[in-house]
Amino acid sequence: MPGQFLSPDDPEFELAKDARQVCKTGGLPFLLSVLAPLNARVGIPFSVAAYGNAHGIETLFVIIPQLSPSSFRR
């Protein structure tokens, strides 16, 4: 349809899950909307912000135990 850039109803192209969320809510997820401008200011690619949005909690679960003081005593 003319004038419609991204349409979840387009039968020709399937939208990704994240794109559906943007169409549904009209904006980026909270973490991504915070990380993307910070990455742009520092010069880090957008893909890093997208990875942080998709895998942020898992990454924290891996990093925090490694940074705990008990891991430094060994």
Helix axes 46-67, 30-42, angle to 10 degrees: 100
Q: How high is the pLDDT of residue 15? A: 75
Token pair for residue 51? 């990875």
**Model's pTM, two decimal places?**
0.48
Query: Taking a C-beta distance cutoff of 8 angstroms, is the pair 65, 71 a contact?
Result: yes
Specify the DSSP class assigned to residue 58.
H
Distance, first Cα to last Cα, the chain: 63
pLDDT of residue 25: 78
Give me the residues of the chain with pLDDT under 50, please. none
Quote the CA–CA distance of 27 and 22 in Å, as a whole number.
5
